[in-house]
Amino acid sequence: MGKYIEDAKNLLEYVGGKDNISAVTHCMTRMRFVLRDESKADKEKIESLSCVKGTFLQAGQFQIIIGNTVSQFYNDFISVSGIEGVNKEEVKDAAKSNMSWIQRLMANLAEIFSPLIPAIIVGGLILGFRNIIGDVKFFEDGTKSLVEISQFWAGMHSFLWLIGEAIFHFLPVGITWAITKKMGTTQILGIVLGITLVSPQLLNAYSVSTATEIPFWDFGFVQINMIGYQAQVIPAILAGFVLVYLEKFFRKITPASISMIVVPFCALIPTVFIAHAVLGPIGWKIGDIIAQFVYAGLTSSINWLFAGFFGFIYAPLVITGLHHMTNAIDLQLMAQFGGTMLWPMIALSNIAQGSAVLAMIVLQKNDEAQKQVSIPACISAYLGVTEPALFGVNLKYGVPFVCGMIGSGIAGVISVASEVTANAIGIGGLPGILSIQPKSMPMFAVAMLVAILVPFLLTLVAYKKKYSLDKK
């Protein structure tokens, strides 16, 4: 008999029974349910189980935080329930029936960028490390960087750009691949399409503004500029979806005996033509408008208001899943302006929510059961993953969540008012300073200190006050 059999039996009852479960799977720390009627799930009873560290509803899924032993719990649950488990993709598809159109849009956007996040984080850390060794004057009375006094580090600085360029300049390849992977079409065609957007044959996107002459393809009746879309997000997304739908269309109407030849040919060639003739210029313009709008907000005379608002609402955006749209905006800002002032505020929000949890650890220092949830959640938030902190602690008690939002808003104002800029997206939370441009690091450190102290102190005071009023 498994270790969690009794808890699994109780959980089955508390989620509304076998008939209320459309699908179930698990990830690294959570059970993920798609329920037919979410109102039948008794959250209070579920959270009373000794192995459960919290519950929340996200992306059409009822998720239950178990921890590192979730795979064992899942096996026992499948055993007692008699339900056949499914993979995470099938659960996501089932969950979309519970979503609004905007939630489905954000879920699709998240699924495109999720496979790219590890590479983007590595790229951000690499660029941050190159900043430190190449731009910060640590040596010879503050006149030279490590690269300037060491041939080894000069070589390393040059070598690491090989990886950074592959990740960010050739990002469209990853995006078009991720779209074909998500939509279940031929992934190698997505990779080929992405390469056609960044081919060395094309004029580099970063050189367009200074080029005296733009090369073009001459088809007689029309000329198409030979411009690359290095680091561009929206042109790659638009082209990727055109490829997907053309492939599905031709696969549907083509006999199976010749589909291997006809489908790739008829899907890829028109897509590449459309991408360079129509979608690329349109996508570039859309991206430019979005980037200009955000940049204007970050650099205007009321940038403090923009920063305070964004810093305050970022944690609620995480709950809804809408935060995934910031990846595309950050990447566009990086491509267009050489850095992003938006991402530092995201890192500060992570820190602020972690600091609110830290205050709860202090307040509940004698509650061993709660500390099993709070301590890992705090560490996770400080390293850039806030879901355990948000759903396991801060939303549960309310006060720390709001205090974290306030601290994030204040830290965001300091960051933007000081023009703190990141070269790239990196690991959120405390390690985020590695992705900040060297000249901005001191003020980002100040903003980090605010993001630590303000939520921590506010939570201590506000929670004690609330608790004392509740006792009366």
Measured between alpha carbons, how far is 75 from 156 in angstroms, rounded to an integer?
Answer: 47
Phi, psi (degrees; rounded to nearest 5) at 217: -90, 130
Q: Strand order in 54-58's β-sheet? A: 21-26, 30-35, 61-65, 54-58
Please list the residues that pair with 99 across neighbouring strands.
none
> Which candidate, 386, 398, 406, 390, places its Cα nearest to that of 450?
406
| Helix, strand, coil share (%) of the chain residues, nearest 5 | 70, 5, 20
Structure tokens at 327: 């990846």
Residue 96, burial from CB neighbour count under 10 angstroms (0-12, 13-18, 19+): middle
Half-sphere CA count of 420, side-chain side, radius 13 A:
30
- Residues 6 or more apart whose Cβ sits within 8 Å of residue 330: 340, 342, 343, 425
Which residue among the candidates 27, 51, 266, 403 is catalytic per the annotation? 27
What residue type is 179 in one-letter code?
Answer: I
* Radius of gyration, CA atoms only, the chain: 25
Retrieve residue 105's tokens.
């849009």
**With left for phi above 0 and alpha for psi between -120 and 50, is residue 445 left, alpha or beta?**
alpha
Quick count: other Cβ atoms within 10 Å of Cβ 259?
A: 15
Instruction: Determine whether 266 is an active site residue.
Output: no
* Rounded Cα–Cα distance for residues 203 and 210 (Å): 11
DSSP-derived letter for residue 431 is G
CB within 8 A of 220, min separation 6: which ones? none
What residue type is 99 in one-letter code?
M
Residues near 148 by beta carbon (within 8 Å), at least 6 away in sequence: 139, 154
By the 10 Å C-beta count (0-12 exposed, 13-18 middle, 19+ buried), 395 is classed as: middle
**CA distance linking residue 322 with residue 335, whole number of Å:** 22
Q: How far apart are CA 441 and CA 23, in angstroms?
A: 46
Q: Which residues are catalytic?
A: 27
